[in-house]
Chain A
Amino acid sequence: MEFAELIKTATVESVLLSGAGLPPVRGTLCITSHHLLLSSRPGGDGAPGTVELWLLIRNVDAVEKRLAGSSGTITLRCKDLKVLQLEIPGMEECLNVASSIEALSSVDSVMMMYPFFYRPQDLRLEAGWHLFPLEQYYQQIATQTSQWRLSGVNRDFAACPTYPPAVIVPAAVDDEALRKAARFRQGGRFPVLSYYHQKNGTVMLRSSQPLTGPNRKRCREDELLLGTVLDEGERGFIIDTRSAQAAKQARMTGGGTEPKSSYPRWKRLHRPLERGRPLQESFIKLVDACNDTSLTMDRWLSRLESCRWLSHVKAALSTACLAAQCLDREEACVLVHGAEGTDTTLLVTALAQLILDPGCRTLAGFQGLLEREWIEAGHPFHLRCARSAYSHARLKQEAPLFLLFLDCVWQLGRQFPFSLEFGERLLLTLFDNAYASSYGTFLGNNEKERCLCKVKESTHSLWAWLNQPEEKRKYLNPLYSRNALVIWPSVEPQSIQLWQGLFFRWIRSSKYLDEAWAEIQRLVENDDTSVEESAGNRRSQSLSDTAAQTENER
């Protein structure tokens, strides 16, 4: 396929661009294989154009056209929730532009995505791809205990197509048993270690549902695997992210959950979390409500309620807290799974780690967490983030689980303003890049697909870009200070807020809030300079000690 075939009109003069809170501007619209550009020429013909718009076409979620007389208006609704209007002179041009954008934005082949073509000069292609190897994570655990081993059973993705080549499993269970256990779990996602809680040596495992089916099948290897995790006399918790009834019903389609009789030392807790289509619909409804200018104050809260989004945030945080509580307070091991083990499961395990482990709350640690618990763990980004909240296309497998995770992280950051090293801006950038990106980090659905497409060889990593010193600065939280404690958030409705920075990013002006952040930055930086200037100061010393410490941990 050639992109050129999809572009019916490459340039249109005198297009009026408006939207996203900016004053309207007229200029020349260009359509390239991956971008929509608009450049204005304030200085007449000779002057170089100013680029007013540089939009990744993959970011376009919906194209709406309205014709009036000889001109037309195209409304572009983007996956990052921005809405743009293009007023195009000429009916035919308008139709051509619209259908070109539609065609280009629906290209679904991973290999045709922009990251495969993007070659920024100041980044090396291989940079950022191997920052957080699982081997390194395993080494940390290995210094504490010998009960776990790094297994290459999935080296060729044979045991589980959605797992990475390396997984951490109980040392006492051999690869053959793992293969058998994999056959007893949906999609081959046998229980693997997700998190080792250094404080007391408990672990969090994740998997998919067991394939017990209507005949209550059992699997000796699976039972053995889970059995070896617990020491003599210990009990563990299985957190099933489905309701007890849904788990029971899953038996009819070959799934199910761990019966008490076969896993006597594991206590099952059901915490239903929304996923799939209902979650996507919740997202769509919320964005719809946020954009509804006719809403009045007396209807706003019930409208917000009917979207259910905040309920999902509350449920996700509560479940993550439950998992964290089992590990930290009950000193018990935890296995988390739902059905496929690629969505709500990862939401819970990733959040629980953020709550428990200060190492995940640094910028680097958070990237590592995303890499381990979302990307390598096989969250199907390509399917889940194919469309955002505006698309009119028939929903397939879209679901904003990653956004829900980012929202929960934002809630944590709001409740613990000093405890995350990164700020809201990073979360927004991650959201944008998960849905449309110049980088390959969120491409594909799992490591196997990324391997086949040679993503790591042919695209740039988002982390490489983010971690450039100049770029990195923008994402840091000026108030951060390493906090070694568990951060237990409040999950009371009074404590959970709508994430305005995301859902109203293009609707409200954030000028005054941005000014406040600039002021905070100024205060903290002023302080740091003064501290540095004042020689022999203990605080500056101890601060640099922390920095060194954090550095070592990386």
Chain B
Amino acid sequence: MEHIRMPKVENVRLLDRVSSRKATLGTLYLTATHVIFVENASETRKETWVLHSQISSIEKQATTATGCHPLLIRCKNFQVIQLIIPQERDCHDVYISLIRLARPVKYEELYCFSFNPKLDKEEQERGWKLVDLNEEYNRMGIPNNYWQISDVNRDYGVCDSYPTEVYVPKSATAHIIVGSSKFRSRRRFPALSYYCKDNNASICRSSQPLSGFSARCLEDELMLQAIRKTNPESDFLYVVDTRPKLNAMANRAAGKGYENEDNYSNIKFQFIGIENIHVMRSSLQKMLEVCELKSPSMSDFLWGLENSGWLKHIKAIMDAGIFIAKAVAEEGVSVLVHCSDGWDRTAQVCSVASLLLDPYYRTMKGFMVLIEKDWVSFGHKFNHRYGNLDGDPKEISPVIDQFIECVWQLMEQFPCAFEFNERFLIHVQHHIYSCQFGNFLCNSQKERQELKIQERTYSLWAHLWKNRADYLNPLYRLDHSQTQGTLRPQIAPCIFLYKFWSGMYNRFEKGMHPRQSVTDYLMAVKEETQQLEEELEVLGERLASLQKVQLNDNEVKSKQQDQNKELGRSTSNISLANTPQEYNNNLKSFPSRSPSQGDEEDSALILTQDNLKSSDPDLSANSDQESGVEDLSCRSPSSGGCLPSEDSGKDSDEAVFLTI
């Protein structure tokens, strides 16, 4: 609290991003964890909550003609908030406070250490156990004849950014592992990421070898050989360096580099040019500038998008994933993947490949497991990449954002293949930055253990799992062809399949998105069908037993009474279903789930943010387009009179249409 110079400022105006002429007057509050804007007018007193950890930049803009002081807050979840503060002094105080609040220096300052979802110790523990990686390797069929769990890294003795439990070939002795680790950047030796039990092919990951121009390491060579031999059907191993060749060559001068095919027996070496974190950071920056343009022309937008290079990078990551999935599924060849340190591009590529290969990772639970496996456990530097603590801005890069977008691009191409929906991805992205849950804290498992994260914070996965009904894809069905086996995305010349994800990068510009949610509607329909079917079933059963009762009229009286009791209950159910009002209530109750119902804190957070941009505040109470309420009332002519969601885009578009 000592950093808050100014807990409350009145008469602040919140500008609408699309039409800057519109602004809402309200009061700004700074709390220990949030910036909160509460609207003055309107009975709803709409609130906009922004977590300090979501703030990526604060900018004081030039004083307006009327002598007011604009403050621009950009968030990591792509929300942009423009406030106008009447007094220069207040503006400065808010600015200085936020600068400090948005850049905590100690982990303990992060929201997850104060966030309390009112769960008891046991629930907290159970939450953390929802995702169990040992269970996951067992699911893959490991340990087996070829693979085993190794404790060589217990106490993080070999590699401090790896987990304590790693899976390695049985034939790789501790000596080989340690030897190999000394020949790899940051001692990240080759370890198993995914194993395909159908054909023994696997995906392993590591960092780059310290080969320089000519160095060799016998243990490392043996390590690769051991990996190759875990797949007896195949006579070679792919080594995929996900960097552009030029970058890899430059690394040789620094004593690092890539595998020489001559030194390793039976490897096929392959470069896949994914750019480094600095290129990606600036690419996102450029794309966000395009998203922020005020009424851009089609050309501005397309040019800007292309110049950002963003979709090109997404495609490069996807191509790498497709290459590896193809090697494993179709050629039956194992793959070792690395980049430089093996914690960014390698994580992206391994997880995209796993997702393509194994339908399990396309379920909600499986996706959580995938992120825990390829990102959290293998030491993706969440703290550095997502700037949770104040640090080197050059370390920040949207690495996992790109992975999440790859998943979305796949969802667009395979609408029935994923158990979860777009909202799930958006909320996962949101919480990678929110620091509301402990999962993504720190840079490695070692650090998390030292901080006792599991005792002191809560797991995001349990939270999402509890609200899973919000995140289901209605088109997902276990017996559908798209949920079986490997996904094979269309490749060249189908570059047009890669699309700009406005649902993410213009997430808060509601007017830009389809005004009616097919997902929510279908979910409601699905639930309704299910309920009706259940009802039918009950009726059927009752009918059958009624007939039985008639047939066995001479049965024991007491038994008959029992059945009558039961009958009475179900008839009352029927009469309930027969009452229109009651049914209507049912109908309404289906879809009224808010994105994160059941968790006051969080639902307030997400809902208010989602509502922020709905252009007409008077309508905003009903225009939560993520909720399915309107969608159903849309279908129901009796309540068709008020459908603000359809109308709400209008005012924001006004500026575009009518400039008379």
Interface residues of A (CB under 8 A from B): 237, 267, 269, 290, 292-302, 304-305, 308, 310-311, 314, 318, 321-322, 325-326, 329-330, 414-419, 479, 481-498, 500, 504, 507-509, 512-513, 515-516, 519-520, 523-524, 526-527, 530-531, 533-539, 542-543, 545-546, 549
A484 to B536, CA, bound (A): 33
A337 to B311, CA, bound (A): 40
B572 proximal to A (CB < 8 A): no
A-B contacts, 8 listed (Cβ < 8 Å): A293-B492, A297-B312, A419-B516, A490-B511, A490-B653, A509-B490, A519-B415, A523-B526
Asked if residues B656 and A298 are in contact (CB atoms below 8 Å), the reply is no
Asked if residues A542 and B637 are in contact (CB atoms below 8 Å), the reply is yes
Interface centre among A484, A527, A535 (most CB of B within 10 A): A527
Asked if residues A516 and B497 are in contact (CB atoms below 8 Å), the reply is no
Q: Which of A297, A495, A546 contacts B315 (CB 8 A)?
A: A297
Asked if residues B496 and A484 are in contact (CB atoms below 8 Å), the reply is no
Asked if residues A298 and B514 are in contact (CB atoms below 8 Å), the reply is no
Asked if residues A481 and B298 are in contact (CB atoms below 8 Å), the reply is no
Asked if residues B509 and A494 are in contact (CB atoms below 8 Å), the reply is yes
Asked if residues A494 and B660 are in contact (CB atoms below 8 Å), the reply is no
Asked if residues A537 and B637 are in contact (CB atoms below 8 Å), the reply is no
A138 to B647, CA, bound (A): 28
Asked if residues A301 and B643 are in contact (CB atoms below 8 Å), the reply is no
Residues on the B chain within 8 Å of A329, using CB: 650, 654
Q: How far is the CB of B99 from chain A (nearest CB, A)?
A: 31
Q: Which of A414, A498, A524 contacts B525 (CB 8 A)?
A: A524
B587 proximal to A (CB < 8 A): yes
Residues on the B chain within 8 Å of A296, using CB: 312, 495
A147 to B485, CA, bound (A): 66
Q: How far is the CB of A99 from chain B (nearest CB, A)?
A: 32
B500 proximal to A (CB < 8 A): yes
Total A-B contacts with CB atoms under 8 angstroms apart: 225
Interface centre among B513, B646, B654 (most CB of A within 10 A): B646
Q: Which stretch of B124-132, B189-197, B429-437, B577-585 is in the interface?
A: B577-585
Q: Which of A292, A485, A493 contacts B643 (CB 8 A)?
A: A485
Q: How far is the CB of B523 from chain A (nearest CB, A)?
A: 9
Q: Which of B533, B578, B640 contacts A536 (CB 8 A)?
A: B578
Asked if residues A494 and B512 are in contact (CB atoms below 8 Å), the reply is yes
Asked if residues B522 and A523 are in contact (CB atoms below 8 Å), the reply is yes
Residue in chain B with minimal CB distance to A315: B298
Q: Which stretch of B74-82, B257-265, B301-309 is in the interface?
A: B301-309
Contact with A along B410-426 (1 / 0, CB 8 A): 00011111000000000
Give the 7 A-B CB pairs with smallest separation, nearest first.
Answer: A493-B301, A516-B415, A301-B306, A305-B302, A538-B580, A530-B532, A293-B493
Residues on the B chain within 8 Å of A497, using CB: 499
Interface centre among B291, B298, B416, B636 (most CB of A within 10 A): B298
Asked if residues B533 and A508 are in contact (CB atoms below 8 Å), the reply is no
Residues on the B chain within 8 Å of A314, using CB: 297-298
A481 to B580, CA, bound (A): 20
Q: Which of A321, A492, A496, A512 contacts B415 (CB 8 A)?
A: A512
Residues on the A chain within 8 Å of B569, using CB: none
A162 to B425, CA, bound (A): 54
B455 proximal to A (CB < 8 A): no
Q: How far is the CB of B359 from chain A (nearest CB, A)?
A: 14
Given contacts A297-B315, A301-B306, A304-B302, contact A488 B496 (CB under 8 A): no
Asked if residues A414 and B528 are in contact (CB atoms below 8 Å), the reply is no
Q: How far is the CB of B566 from chain A (nearest CB, A)?
A: 20
Asked if residues A530 and B416 are in contact (CB atoms below 8 Å), the reply is no
Asked if residues A489 and B649 are in contact (CB atoms below 8 Å), the reply is yes
Asked if residues A311 and B522 are in contact (CB atoms below 8 Å), the reply is no
Asked if residues B583 and A539 are in contact (CB atoms below 8 Å), the reply is yes
Q: Which of B306, B413, B532, B649 contacts A488 (CB 8 A)?
A: B649
Q: How far is the CB of A330 from chain B (nearest CB, A)?
A: 8
Given contacts A293-B493, A305-B299, contact A534 B535 (CB under 8 A): yes
Asked if residues B311 and A297 are in contact (CB atoms below 8 Å), the reply is yes
Interface centre among A488, A526, A536 (most CB of B within 10 A): A488
A514 to B302, CA, bound (A): 28
Given contacts A318-B656, A487-B646, A488-B647, contact A539 B309 (CB under 8 A): no
Residue in chain A with minimal CB distance to B534: A530
Asked if residues A418 and B650 are in contact (CB atoms below 8 Å), the reply is no
A538 to B532, CA, bound (A): 13
Q: How far is the CB of A58 from chain B (nearest CB, A)?
A: 29
Residues on the B chain within 8 Å of A520, using CB: 475, 518, 522
A322 to B301, CA, bound (A): 22
B474 proximal to A (CB < 8 A): yes
Q: How far is the CB of A234 from chain B (nearest CB, A)?
A: 16
Residue in chain B with minimal CB distance to A485: B646
Contact with A along B469-509 (1 / 0, CB 8 A): 00000110100111000000010111111111010001001
Residue in chain B with minimal CB distance to A413: B514
Given contacts A325-B658, A485-B647, contact A535 B578 (CB under 8 A): yes
Interface centre among A481, A489, A492, A533 (most CB of B within 10 A): A492
Given contacts A295-B495, A531-B532, contact A416 B514 (CB under 8 A): yes
B252 proximal to A (CB < 8 A): no
Residues on the A chain within 8 Å of B66, using CB: none
Asked if residues A515 and B306 are in contact (CB atoms below 8 Å), the reply is no
Q: Which of A310, A504, A524, A533 contacts B298 (CB 8 A)?
A: A310
A330 to B631, CA, bound (A): 28
Residue in chain A with minimal CB distance to B493: A293
Residue in chain A with minimal CB distance to B647: A485
Asked if residues B480 and A515 are in contact (CB atoms below 8 Å), the reply is yes
Q: How far is the CB of B168 from chain A (nearest CB, A)?
A: 37
Residues on the A chain within 8 Å of B416, using CB: 512, 515-516, 519
B440 proximal to A (CB < 8 A): no
Residues on the A chain within 8 Å of B656, using CB: 318, 321, 491-492
A415 to B653, CA, bound (A): 14
